[in-house]
Structure 1
C-alpha cells in the first residue's frame, strides 16, 4: 500500500511539474520601447526593407510577449496568460522611454491586444492579479490618452487604434473615463467617413490605401461592438472597404496606384457578429492585437 501511494504521489508530482513547465517564466519586461519608421516615401506606402528589418528586430520581444499572452488567453493556458500579464504589470512594462512615434504605435497596438486578451481570462484572475494587471492597464491607457491628446498630426488609423486600446481598458476595468474617451474617438472617425464610405486620410496612402482602410475599419468595428454602438456611417465604411478588398480595381482607379491584395476576413467577422450577421469562414482567424482568436467572440463584444 505504501509503495502504491508513493507511486501515485510520484505520478501527481510529475504531472504537476509537466504543467508548470508548460508555462515558462515570463521574459523580463520591456520598460522602454525602441522602434523606428520604415517607409521611404511621402505617402508612407513604400517600405524600406532595411529599416523594416531593424524595427522588427527591436520590437520582437514585445510582439512575442503579446502573441504568447493572446495564445494562452484564447484557451491554451489562461493561468499562464495571467501570470505573464501580472509579471509585466509588476515591472511597469512599456511605461519608460519611447524612442519615436513608431514606439507609441507599438505601445497602443500592444495595449489593445493585452486588454482584449485579459478580458478572456479576467474571471479566473486572483484578486492580487487583478489589482496588478488592471492598475498597469490603466497607467498604459492614461499614457496613451496623454500622448494622443498632445498629438497635432493627422487623425487617422493610429487614432482609431488608440481609441480601441483605451476602450478595451475601459471594458475590463469598468472605468467610465476610458469608455467616454473611446466614444469621442469613434465619433471623430465617423465624422471623417465620406459619402462613398471612404476615409480621406487613408485614401492618401497611395498603394496602401486598401491596407489602411482595413487597418482603420477593423479597430472601429471592434470599438462599436464593445461600446454597443450602431452607426450608418460605419456601415458605409465597412461596405466600401470590403468591396475594395473583393475588387481593388476601383480603388486603384481613384488613387491612381495599384493596390496590394488584402483579405477582409477579420473585419467581416467582427462587424457581422456585432450586427447579428455571422460571417462564414471565420474559423482559425487570428490577430494578437485584437485579443487572439477572432472566431470566438471576445467577452467585451456586444452581440446582436
Structure 2
C-alpha cells in the first residue's frame, strides 16, 4: 500500500467518478528547434521556435497531466481506484488506436517525443492492474508501447545525431523504454535502457558535471537537472527490479547528483565549468518543484537523511513526465525504499 495524497489534484475532483474530456490524440509532430539556428551548442533560445514546440506538444502535455492526476489518485483512493483506472486506460487506448506520435516529421520531433511516451506509459503502469476489465484497450495500448519502444531503441542506437546520443534526450528515451519493459515484461528493453545509461555515465566528469549538458552555456545546470530526472527515475525502477549497477556506475550517478545540488546552492560553481552565468536560481527552495522532483527517485537509490530533510518542506514533488507525484511513487512507496544501491565498500587504505 502507498501512503500519501497525490501532489496534483486529479481531474476531475477527488469525489467524482466522472472521466474528464481528454485532448484529441496528437498524431503528427513536425516542429523545429527551440534554439537559434546559429547556436551550434543549442544555448541561445529562439522565442518563436520555443513557442512553436510548446504549441505542438500542448495537447500531449495536458493529456499526461490529466492521466497522472487520475493514476496517482487511483493509488491512494481505493474507492475510486477502478473508475480512475478505467478512465486512464480508456483515454490512453484512444490515443493508441489513433496512432499517437506515429508521424514524426522532423529530427527534432524524433529526438524529443520520448518523454511523452514515458509519461503516458508511467500513468498506464500505475493503473493497469487496478481493473480486470478493458482487455481490448490494454492490448491496443501495449501494442502501441511496443511499437514506440522498438522505434526508440532503433533510432537511438543507429539514427540519432551523434551528440544527441550522449545527452539528456537519450536518457528520456531510456526512461520510456524502461516503463515499456516493466509493462511488457521485456528484458531486452531493460538491457537497452541500461546500456544507454552506461553510455552517458561513462562521460560523467570526476567533478560530477555531464559534459554534453555543460555545452549548453547558460542552460548547463538546467539541462543537467533535466538529464538527471529520467536517469534517476529509470535507475530506481531498474534497480528495484533486481538489476544491478556497478560501483562505478553508482558513483557516477552520485557525482552527477552532487554536482547538480552544489550548483543549485551556488550556480557560480557551474558557471566556472560552463563558461556562462546560469539561468537556474540559487537555492533548493527556489527551484520549480518539477525540476527537483527526481530527487525522490534518487533517494530510493541512496540513503541520504540530510537531503531527505531538506526536501521535507517542499513535498509533495511532482514531474508529469515521470508519473506525477514522485513523493507518492518513490518516498512513500514501500516497494521503492532507500538504499537500492549497494553499500559502498572501503577503498584501499580507508578504515
Give the alignment's TM-score, normalised by structure 2.
0.75
What secondary structure sits across from 1:216 in the alignment?
helix
Q: Distance in 2 between matches of 1:28 and 1:239?
A: 41
* Greater gyration radius: 1
Aligned position for 2:61: 63
Contact 1:222 1:301 in 2 (8 A): no
Aligned position for 1:156: 167
**Quick one: structure 1 residues 300 and 147, their matched pair in 2 at CA, closer, same or farther if it must change by over 3 Å?**
farther
Instruction: Could you tell me which runs of 5 or more consecutive residues in structure 2 were left unpaired when the two chains were aligned.
Output: 1-14, 75-83, 282-286, 339-351
Q: Distance in 2 between matches of 1:252 and 1:75?
A: 41
Contact 2:121 2:176 in 1 (8 A): yes
Contact 1:284 1:295 in 2 (8 A): yes
1:78 aligns with 2:103: no
- Supply the RMSD in Å over aligned alpha carbons: 2.2
Q: Distance in 2 between matches of 1:115 and 1:300?
A: 21
Aligned position for 1:142: 150
Q: 1:33 aligns with which of 26, 29, 41?
A: 29
**Quick one: structure 1 residues 59 and 173, their matched pair in 2 at CA, closer, same or farther if it must change by over 3 Å?**
same
What secondary structure sits across from 2:113 in the alignment?
helix
Q: 2:138 aligns with which of 130, 141, 165?
A: 130
Aligned position for 2:271: 252
Aligned position for 2:192: 181
Q: Distance in 1 between matches of 2:40 and 2:136?
A: 48
Q: Distance in 2 between matches of 1:214 and 1:25?
A: 33
Shift of 1:301: 6.9
Aligned position for 1:108: 114
Give the alignment's TM-score, normalised by structure 1.
0.86
Instruction: Could you tell me which runs of 5 or more consecutive residues in structure 1 were left unpaired when the two chains were aligned.
Output: 1-17
